[in-house]
Amino acid sequence: MGLIRQFPPGSLPWLMVHECRLWWRDLRAKWFLYIMGGLLAIVTLFLAGVWLLTARLGDAPLVLVPNPPTPSMLRIAGGFWMFLFIYAFIQAMQQSLTALFDRGDLDLLVSSPISSKTIFASRLLSVAVEVFLGFLLLIVPATILAMAIGAFRLLGIYPALVGLCLTTASLSMLLSLGLVKLVGAKRARTVAQVLTMAIAGTFFVGVQLLNLDTRTSLSQGGDLNIPGGATSGLSLSPESWLWFPVRAIFMDLPSVVATLVVSGGLAWITIETLNRQFVQGTQQAVTGSRRSPKSSSATSPAQTVTFNQGLSQVLLRKEWRVIQRSPYLISRTLLSAVFLIPLMLLVVQDSSTQNGFDLATLTTVALPSAGAFLTSSLAVICIAGEEAPDLLKSAPVKGQRVRLLKLGAILLPVWCFLALFFAILLTQGVNILPGLALTLLATCCTALVRLWNAKPISLSAMMMRQRENAFNDTILIILENVLFFLWIFMGSQMSQGNAIATLVLFGFVLLIMGISYWRSRALGSSLGF
């Protein structure tokens, strides 16, 4: 409270403190457990750092960061920087979309005598600050450890992060506002979310596949070159000037200065050029979500709706309509599945024969886990995203039947999708029975866990990260993740014919299911009916 009074009302720092205060209160309300976990990690790592420091004083051998860093160290740091960039970009996009579409105070700010440039600058900088603060839980323990072993040069991560956060905040604002201008406010949000996932997904998969392909050449010191870059002197080797943001991590002074100047310049240009569009975009976002008095449907042909349907048909049709009409959810599901591809390739490749992938492993590992993942995503839409649980509960239908139909709506599309792969594998002469059994088990269990622990909230609220409190069931997330990894391990053991390990893992699956069922009793959940 005191800090905000230190600045003149209406000034940029005053607005930024206001923004950060709101962000912090929101974070504190939602992520208390994570913050506590983070603090615990900091303390643990600090103690570990002290222990290492003691060991160092005792002449124990330590690996210090050489100056300048070796190419292999730069490559590792480059990978780390890529990860941070993707994560920061996703976070910045979320914050930008919130700033543009969700925050209810923009009308107040825009109607005030504060200039649009100050408002936009405060939003952009606060997005950067929020992303930066979000990184601290990860970075602070790491730098404590680095200092403990004497690698003070690694403190360069902080200016590198400042640059990274400013860059991603500027890019996210550019993308959001560009989309508002291109496709209108109504579609911009969905397109932006899909694009964010697509960019991040492509980047991630690209890096992973590149890694799989070129692992050997890179380990032998080979470089990657930009096509046509040989003539222009552009190279992706760690010695290239393009690596200055990565070298900033090692406190290379020219790189630190370049990082801050480039990112600061980008932010300044963004603020100077886009502040008016921001205000217009905001107004469009507010008015765009409301209907115009004259609807296009007044002149469009009448829609065909059949009223001669039983409960099963109307319920399944309704669920599939909701799924089909949520492009963001579909993209999230598919793109999240894309994230799994490198993991799957690694799993399959490790146990592959010389001539290609081990199809038995593919059947028992990749398909059940992919099925579980897809089921989980659809279950979120159909169960957690049930917008009118009271309507279902007040209807003269048995809750058990509704639950069964919901399970059907979730599982049928997944089974149909995976059936294609099983059919292909069958034509290859692969024994699909173990994989098929495991896939059926994995998909059913995953859907049941979500059903038993359901806390329905509206689909729109579910999509807004800022309002995820009701959706944030940490225990459910843990149960789902543990279950997901159990399918991978179980499939792996099953493909190797390790019956005892498979049975032990199946026991863990039963345990997770038991906990989930017990929670449903304790919470009185299961959609509340």
Alpha-carbon separation of residue 469 from 90, 100, 332, 380 (angstroms):
19, 20, 20, 15
Q: Which is nearer to another protein, 111 or 297 (CB)?
A: 297
Should residue 521 be labelled a site residue for another protein when binding is judged by CB under 8 A? no
CA distance 39 to 29: 16
Alpha-carbon separation of residue 349 from 219, 282, 301, 493 (angstroms):
19, 49, 54, 15
- Please say whether the beta carbons of 128 and 169 come within 8 A: yes
CA distance 344 to 488: 9
Contact pick of 311, 477, 478, 510 for another protein (by CB under 8 A): 311
Contact pick of 25, 215, 276, 321 for another protein (by CB under 8 A): 321
Should residue 392 be labelled a site residue for another protein when binding is judged by CB under 8 A? yes
Contact pick of 54, 219, 400, 460 for another protein (by CB under 8 A): 460
Contact pick of 313, 400, 431, 481 for another protein (by CB under 8 A): 313
Q: Which is nearer to another protein, 231 or 290 (CB)?
A: 290
Should residue 350 be labelled a site residue for another protein when binding is judged by CB under 8 A? no
Residues in Cβ contact with 448 at an 8 Å cutoff, skipping those fewer than 6 apart: 407, 513, 516
Which amino acid is located at 365 in the chain? V
Question: In 103-122, which positions are buried (b, 16+ CB within 10 angstroms) versus exposed (e)?
Answer: beebeebbeeebebbbbbbb
Number of residues that bind another protein (CB under 8 A): 41
Contact pick of 47, 64, 212, 395 for another protein (by CB under 8 A): 395
Should residue 305 be labelled a site residue for another protein when binding is judged by CB under 8 A? yes
Q: Which is nearer to another protein, 305 or 522 (CB)?
A: 305
Should residue 102 be labelled a site residue for another protein when binding is judged by CB under 8 A? no
Contact pick of 296, 353, 427, 428 for another protein (by CB under 8 A): 296
Should residue 470 be labelled a site residue for another protein when binding is judged by CB under 8 A? no
Computed over its alpha carbons, how large is the radius of gyration of the chain? 26
- Please say whether the beta carbons of 116 and 17 come within 8 A: no
Beta bridge partner(s), residue 488: none
- What is the token pair recorded at 68? 């300048």
Alpha-carbon separation of residue 165 from 170, 172, 256, 426 (angstroms):
8, 10, 14, 49
- Region 371-390 residues binding another protein, contact defined as CB under 8 A: 387-388, 390
CA distance 354 to 160: 43
Q: Which is nearer to another protein, 190 or 496 (CB)?
A: 190
Least distance between another protein and beta carbon 325 (Å):
4
Should residue 308 be labelled a site residue for another protein when binding is judged by CB under 8 A? yes
3-state secondary structure at position 356: strand
Residue 359's closest CA among 371, 372, 344, 370? 344
Should residue 397 be labelled a site residue for another protein when binding is judged by CB under 8 A? yes
Q: Which is nearer to another protein, 296 or 355 (CB)?
A: 296
Which amino acid is located at 352 in the chain? S
Least distance between another protein and beta carbon 101 (Å):
13
Contact pick of 1, 29, 108, 391 for another protein (by CB under 8 A): 391
Q: Which is nearer to another protein, 294 or 356 (CB)?
A: 294
Should residue 502 be labelled a site residue for another protein when binding is judged by CB under 8 A? no
Least distance between another protein and beta carbon 409 (Å):
13
- Region 276-295 residues binding another protein, contact defined as CB under 8 A: 289-291, 294-295
Contact pick of 72, 211, 394, 400 for another protein (by CB under 8 A): 394
Q: How far is CA 343 from the centre of its chain?
A: 16
Torsional sign, CA 304, 305, 308, 312: positive
Contact pick of 5, 25, 28, 398 for another protein (by CB under 8 A): 398
Count of positions (residues) in the chain: 529
Contact pick of 216, 220, 231, 303 for another protein (by CB under 8 A): 303
Find the angle CA(420)-CA(509)-CA(386) to the nearest 5 degrees.
Answer: 65
Binding site for another protein (CB under 8 A): 289-291, 294-298, 300, 302-303, 305-311, 313-315, 317-318, 321-322, 325-326, 387-388, 390-398, 458-460
